[in-house]
């Protein structure tokens, strides 16, 4: 196993030949690993041989990181010096599956300070925390990866003897295609490597969604938000959408029709299968009762070299929806509202196009500074922003914006989408909302923060607090179904 020199003498470190194939075999076979460790421990020059073997195994693992696309994302901690644990880690990495979907999420977590540093340095505690090889082999790909880096994300993953998975002490129910409800919105996209699961009273599109969305949906500073109730009088609101008034200076009527457009688009964005705007880092959750959806869409920050993270969080009920834009961009001093975050606004316009205005109205209609020269996200955004038609730099008057939106409610999210649907039937002939809708808006507003600028971070608000907020919002949704108009 270890190359020998001369008359049976063990190899000295300079002549040590420990091939990657032997290391891989030792990682996968308990018998081979024990034989290797015994040969090292019982031979002369034990310290030198141990040091040389340790270096070879670390080089093998570094090569594994490169092959998995994890260079710069995950590395070995200098204090991981146990050959036994390193060989165990080599096995875990070999069988951890494809990381292409996880790496961008780790980058987002780093921007939000959910991860302290990159690369994540795996230590002895990380390897030991995975548990037995049998437990590891029994998990889906997403849980295998999570088990390796869970400590660095501030989450805990456990499995009881009865097979119950626990995420942060709460049951995590993994679905198979056979146990998934027939009417689940996630059935068509089911992936056994990253399956649908139930957690904290929600059904999530995948295990990754349950872990990341729960932690990062409110991460960063809030830039803008838009609440859009689905009004209860379809005939009049539908007429406003299909046949806008000849005179567009009717702010009361137009504000209602724009809210209908915003609600319908938000509903589509919350439920349409990914990708959206060619963005693939999307996390979705759903509760069948009330048709509630929550979705986080990463707009920026998931690629190498991105200087900040920006995402859209949409909370959609059957009769009200809210869209919230968050960013980790450092705010510009002396500015207010969206003007505090010019790079984020530029990226949002670039990614969402006309949909940014359909969702948020004119809340992103700010004058942007010239794009920075050279590389980086600002310059990338500037490539599109240089054309006022493509980037929307030339801001139309509010009345013209309203006329354009009402006259063109189609959605541009990367795949064909329906026109704005008519609101639900009922009501007294007005487009006004009811007390239930307003109560729900108050409840949803509480889920974002009180100061109109700062969103929650993982450190500020725990999962229990988010659960109370969402239960309050769902209670408001229920009451909106039963209360009459004002």
DSSP, residue by residue, 235-280: HHHHHHHHS--SS---HHHHHHHHHHHHHHHHHHHHHSPSPBTTB-
**132 shares a domain with 54:** no
Checking if the pLDDT of 342 tops 50, the result is yes
Same domain membership, residue 262 and residue 189: no
pLDDT confidence band for 276 (50 / 70 / 90)? very high
Same domain assignment for residues 403 and 317: yes
Lowest-confidence range among 327-331, 390-394, 408-412?
390-394
Confidence of residue 282 (pLDDT cuts 50, 70, 90): very high
- Tell me: do 165 and 240 sit in the same domain: no
Could you give the number of structural domains in the chain? 3
Residues 250 and 125 in one domain: no
More confident residue, 410 or 342: 342
Confidence of residue 8 (pLDDT cuts 50, 70, 90): very low
Average pLDDT over residues 76-94: 96
d(CA 300, CA 358): 20
> Is residue 359 included in any domain, yes or no?
yes
pLDDT band at 46 (very low <50, low <70, confident <90, very high): confident
Q: Domain containing 59: what range?
A: 19-70+83-94
CB contact set of 288 (below 8 Å; sequence gap of 6+): 181, 183, 203
Mean pLDDT calculated for residue range 364-388: 59
148 and 294: one domain?
no
Reported confidence tier of residue 69, pLDDT bands at 50, 70, 90: very high
Average pLDDT in the 280-291 region? 90
Asked if the structure places residue 295 within a domain, the reply is yes
Return the bridge partners of 314, or none.
295, 323
Q: Which pLDDT score is estimated for 352? A: 96
- What is the model's pTM? 0.73
pLDDT at 415: 33
Question: Residue 486: pLDDT above 50?
Answer: no
Q: Specify whether 355 is located in the same domain as 403.
A: yes
What average pLDDT score do residues 280-285 get? 94
Residue 4, H or E segment: strand 4-5
Q: What is the band of 394 on the pLDDT scale with cuts at 50, 70, 90?
A: very low
Q: Looking at 20-120, list the stretches that DSSP marks H as alpha helix, in order from N- to C-terminal side.
A: 20-28, 30-42, 46-67, 83-94, 103-111
Is residue 233 over pLDDT 80? no
Planar angle of CA 302, 306, 312, nearest 5 degrees: 50
172, 163 contact by CB (below 8 A): no
| Residue that finishes a domain, picked among 44, 60, 94 | 94
Comparison of pLDDT for 375 and 252, the residue scoring more:
375
Asked if the structure places residue 478 within a domain, the reply is yes
- Confidence bin at 428 (pLDDT 50/70/90): very low
DSSP labels for 343-364? HHHHHHHHHHTHHHHHHHTTTT
Has residue 249 got a pLDDT over 70? Answer: no
Residue 288 shares a structural domain with residue 170: no
pLDDT winner (highest mean) among 48-52, 124-128, 255-259, 398-402: 124-128
**Closest alpha carbon to 315 in 287, 291, 288, 294:** 294
Strand duo 165-167 + 170-174: pairing: antiparallel
Residues 244 and 277 in one domain: yes
Interatomic CA distance for residues 345 and 370, integer angstroms: 13
Q: In 3D, which of 477, 467, 476 has the Cα closest to residue 201?
A: 467
Q: Which residues of 303-321 are buried (b: 16+ CB within 10 A; e: fewer)?
A: eeebebbbbbbbbbbbbbb
Using CA atoms, how far residue 258 sits from 154, 390, 418, in Å, is: 41, 22, 16
pLDDT tier for residue 296 given thresholds of 50, 70 and 90: very high
Q: Is residue 233 part of a domain?
A: yes
What pLDDT was estimated at residue 467?
55
pLDDT at 172: 95
Alpha carbon distance 75, 78 (integer Å): 9
Question: Does 233 lie in the same domain as 87?
Answer: no
How far is 165 from 149, CA to CA, in rounded Å?
17
**Position 227 confidence tier, pLDDT thresholds 50, 70, 90:** confident
Residue 379 — very low, low, confident or very high, per pLDDT cuts 50/70/90?
A: low
To the nearest whole percent, how much of the chain has pLDDT over 90?
48
36: left (phi over 0), alpha (psi -120 to 50) or beta: alpha
Residue 412 lies in a domain: yes
Cβ contact 196:206 at 8 Å:
yes
Is the pLDDT score of 353 beyond 60? yes
118/89 same-domain check: no
Please report, for residues 181, 407, 454, the alpha-carbon distance to residue 299 in angstroms, rounded to integers and kept in the order given.
Answer: 31, 27, 19
Q: Last residue of some domain: 94, 126, 156?
A: 94
pLDDT over threshold 60, residue 232: no
- Shortest CA distance to 363 belongs to which of 247, 216, 225? 225
Angle at Cα 156 formed by Cα 151 and Cα 162, nearest 5°?
140
Mean model confidence pLDDT for the chain: 75
Same domain, 395 and 436: yes
Tell me the average pLDDT across 310-315.
96
């Amino acid at each position: 196993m270890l190359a020998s020199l001369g008359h049976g003498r063990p190899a000295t470190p300079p002549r040590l030949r420990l091939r990657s194939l032997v290391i891989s075999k030792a990682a996968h076979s308990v018998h081979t690993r024990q034989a290797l460790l015994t040969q090292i421990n019982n031979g002369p020059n034990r310290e030198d041989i141990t040091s040389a073997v340790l270096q070879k195994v670390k080089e093998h693992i570094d090569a594994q990181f490169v092959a998995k696309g994890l260079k710069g994302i995950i590395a070995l901690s200098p204090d991981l010096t146990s050959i036994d644990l390193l060989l165990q880690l080599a096995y875990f990495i070999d069988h951890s599956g494809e990381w292409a979907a996880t790496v961008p999420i780790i980058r987002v977590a780093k921007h939000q300070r959910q991860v302290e540093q990159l690369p994540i340095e795996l230590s002895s505690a990380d390897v030991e925390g995975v548990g037995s090889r049998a437990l590891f082999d029994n998990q889906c790909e997403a849980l295998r990866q999570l088990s390796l880096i869970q400590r660095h994300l501030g989450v805990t993953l456990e499995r009881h003897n009865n097979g119950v998975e626990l995420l942060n002490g709460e049951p995590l129910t993994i679905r198979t295609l056979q146990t998934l409800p027939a009417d689940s919105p996630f059935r068509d996209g089911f992936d056994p490597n990253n399956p649908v699961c139930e957690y904290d009273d929600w059904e999530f599109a995948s295990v990754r969604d349950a872990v990341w969305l729960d932690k990062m949906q409110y991460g960063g500073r809030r830039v803008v938000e838009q609440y859009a109730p689905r009004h209860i009088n379809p005939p009049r609101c539908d007429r406003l959408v299909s046949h806008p008034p000849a005179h567009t200076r009717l702010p009361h009527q137009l504000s209602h029709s724009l809210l209908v457009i915003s609600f319908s688009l938000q509903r589509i964005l919350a439920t349409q299968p990914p990708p959206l705007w060619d963005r693939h880092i999307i996390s979705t959750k759903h509760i069948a009762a009330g048709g509630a959806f929550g979705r986080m869409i990463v707009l920026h920050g998931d690629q190498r070299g991105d200087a900040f993270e920006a995402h859209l969080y949409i909370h959609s009920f059957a009769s009200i929806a809210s869209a919230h834009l968050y960013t980790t961009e450092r705010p510009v001093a002396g500015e207010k509202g969206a003007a505090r975050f010019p790079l984020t606004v530029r990226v949002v316009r670039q990614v969402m196009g006309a949909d940014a205005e359909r969702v948020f109205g004119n809340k992103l209609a700010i004058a942007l500074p010239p794009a920075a020269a050279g590389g980086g996200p600002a310059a990338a955004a500037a490539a599109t922003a240089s054309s006022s038609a493509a980037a929307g730099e030339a801001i139309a008057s509010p009345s013209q914006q309203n006329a354009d939106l009402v006259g063109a409610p189609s959605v541009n999210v990367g795949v064909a989408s329906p026109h704005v649907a008519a609101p639900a039937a009922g009501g007294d002939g007005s487009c006004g909302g009811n007390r239930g809708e307003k109560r729900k808006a108050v409840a949803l507003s509480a889920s974002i923060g009180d100061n109109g600028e700062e969103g929650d971070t993982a450190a500020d608000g725990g999962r229990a607090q988010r659960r109370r907020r969402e239960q309050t919002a769902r209670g408001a949704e229920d009451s909106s179904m039963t209360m009459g108009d004002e």
